[in-house]
Amino acid sequence: MVDFEIRPSGQPVPEARRKAILAAPGFGRTFTDHMVTLRWCADQGWHDGRVEPYGPFLLDPATAVFHYGQECFEGMKAYRQASGAVGLFRPEENAARFNRSADRVGMPPLPEETFVHALELLVGQDSAWVPDAIGTSLYLRPFMIATEPALGFTLPSDSYLFCVIASPVTAAFDAGTAPRPLTVWLSKDYTRAAPGGTGAAKTGGNYAAAFKATQQAVANGCDQVVWLDALEHRWVEEMGGMNLFFVYAPEGDGRPRIVTPPLTGTLLPGVTRDSLLTLAPQLGLAAEERRISVDQWRQQCATGEITEVFACGTAAVISPVGAVRSAAGDWPVGDGRPGPVTLRLREELLGIQHGNRPDPFSWVRKA
Ligand code: COI
């Protein structure tokens, strides 16, 4: 296991200021007193681990990540438990996905136990920054960047920096701590990911490629863009940063059904997505991974077969989708308000994450 040197900050944020931030944290704009850094080069492997004061990096302008975007990241959260302790939610899943992303963009793997240890060290050092209210949490952003100061582009960088920063947050799209229905824009002009590309990796280029379409969504009065498949522009994939679920009215077995697009390699395998598929049967819901076309989405909302739609992700938690807009027309989802299945899943997931509900799959790990 890699060693980390602890260098506590001499100038932590004053307590009164920290408490004011924790009372209304927003999303990803304020950061805790410390960060974790760890370096990699071929000769030494992973080395020089530190928990150190949060602060800027000094990097050569030729550093590879600035030019070729060789980087990957994760999004995960530490939750204040009902007991007062702090818990991480399924951090091993993020560690494994981090390495899959790193592999896709030619970066070295980080041992999963080192990834989780780094998170635990940071959360332990900055535990006073974990807010209490249900729906708030300490968002953790582990990332790795290519640090070789060279413009050659034949081979990947020969050195890397791994870092973890932390930010107290509420769910990204909530109004306060209540879910706010989103209006979404179906992107026909742009594509997020094609077969064989980087769509399943959490790498910055996927997010850079999304900004233009999100600007278009916002210009059309929407909150977020929904990505369709690259080949036919017909099948719903994800929202880029969030997966999508469709709630179908009960059929023969009397159970509502939650349906999400399958992992084809062009969408991100979300940890929240997987958790909801796993939890659904426990809550009397059927769960299915199946392709859904835009036409089905529209028609089945009109017939009442689709009763609710929601987006899910670590940052978003579970956000209802209230309406759809597209160049080809608009339609509402249900009555536009958060539906009962969406709210039930959200309550259950947050209950497990905060230690207020039984944790049947042992997902919460004490930090
Ligand atoms: C997350 O949900 O943690 C993400 O990384 C999505 C990001 C766009 C905020």
Cα separation of 37 and 52, whole Å?
8
pLDDT digits (tens, 9 = 90+) for 136-176: 999 999 999 999 999 998 899 999 999 999 999 998 887 77
Q: Which two tokens stand for residue 103?
A: 């592999």
Among protein residues, the one with the nearest Cα to ligand 1's atom 3 is: 75
Report the separation in Å between the CA atom of 8 and the middle of ligand 1, taken as the mean of its atom positions: 28
User: 60-64 long-range contacts, Cβ below 8 Å, gap at least 24?
Assistant: 60/149, 62/149, 62/150, 62/151, 63/145, 63/146, 63/147, 63/148, 63/149, 64/146, 64/147, 64/148, 64/149, 64/150, 64/151, 64/156, 64/157
Average pLDDT over residues 22-30: 94
Atom of ligand 1 nearest to the CA of 313: 2
What mean pLDDT is predicted for residues 222-247? Answer: 95
Of all protein residues, whose CA lies closest to atom 9 belonging to ligand 1? 315
Q: How far is the CA of 298 from the centre of ligand 1 (A)?
A: 27
Best residue among 182, 242, 275 to mutate for probing ligand 1, ranked by most atoms within 8 Å of CB: 242
Q: pLDDT digits over 272-287, tens only?
A: 999 999 999 999 999 9
Which residue do the tokens 């910055």 mark?
A: 204
Spatial distance between the Cα atoms of 331 and 132, rounded to a whole number of angstroms = 38
Which value, to the nearest 10 degrees, does the dihedral of the CA atoms of residues 57, 58, 64, 68 take? Answer: 60
Question: Best substitution site from 214, 314, 319 to test ligand 1's pocket, by max atoms within 8 Å of Cβ?
Answer: 314
Q: Of all atoms in ligand 1, which is nearest to the CA of residue 28? A: 9
Alpha-carbon Rg for the chain in angstroms: 21
Confidence of residue 1 (pLDDT cuts 50, 70, 90): confident
Atom number, ligand 1, closest to the C-alpha of residue 240: 8
- What integer pLDDT is reported at residue 240 of this predicted model? 78
Q: What does DSSP assign to residue 266?
A: S
Q: What is the pLDDT of residue 173?
A: 84
241 Cα–ligand 1 center, Å: 5
Q: pLDDT value at position 77? A: 97
Residue 283 is given by DSSP the state: G
Give residue 302 CA to ligand 1 midpoint distance, Å.
Answer: 31
Atom of ligand 1 nearest to the CA of 76: 3
Atom number of ligand 1 nearest to Cα 315:
2
Token digits for 304? Answer: 């009442």
CB–CB of 243/312 below 8 Å? yes
* Residue 177, pLDDT above cutoff 80: no
Mean local confidence (pLDDT), 40-60: 98
Q: Which tokens in the block code for residue 47?
A: 């080395």
Yes or no: say if 220 and 328 are a contact pair by the CB < 8 Å rule.
Answer: no
- What pLDDT sits at residue 171? 84
**What is the reported pLDDT for 178?**
81
Q: What is the chain's mean pLDDT, rounded?
A: 96
Q: Under a CB-based contact definition with an 8 Å cutoff, are residues 270 and 260 in contact?
A: no
The complex scores an ipTM of 0.95
Q: Are 116 and 25 in contact (CB under 8 A)?
A: no
* Among protein residues, the one whose CA lies closest to atom 5 of ligand 1: 75
Q: Residues enclosing ligand 1, CB less than 6 A?
A: 75, 241, 313-315
How confident is the model over 213-225, as a mean pLDDT? 96
Q: How far is the CA of 172 from the centre of ligand 1 (A)?
A: 9
Ligand 1 center from residue 270 Cα (angstroms): 10
Give the pair of three-digit tokens for residue 308.
């609710």
The half-sphere exposure of 102 on its side-chain side, counting CA atoms within 13 A, is: 25
Rounded distance, CA 160 to CA 157, Å? 7
| CA nearest ligand 1 atom 7, residue | 241
Percent of the chain exceeding pLDDT 70 equals 100
What integer is the mean pLDDT of 94-104?
A: 98
Query: What is the Cα–Cα distance from 355 to 168, expressed in whole angstroms?
Result: 18
Q: Residue whose CA is closest, atom 6 of ligand 1?
A: 241
Cα 98 to averaged position of ligand 1 atoms, centre (Å): 13
Distance 174 CA to ligand 1 centre (A): 14
Atom of ligand 1 nearest to the CA of 172: 9
- Summarize pLDDT for 116-131 with one digit per residue, the tens: 999 999 999 999 999 9
Question: Which among 159, 161, 163 is positioned nearest to 43, based on CA atoms?
Answer: 159
CA 152 / ligand 1 centre spacing (Å): 31
Ligand 1 atom nearest to 202, measured from its CA: 5
pTM score, whole prediction: 0.96
Closest ligand 1 atom to residue 139 Cα is: 3
Mean pLDDT of 37-58: 98
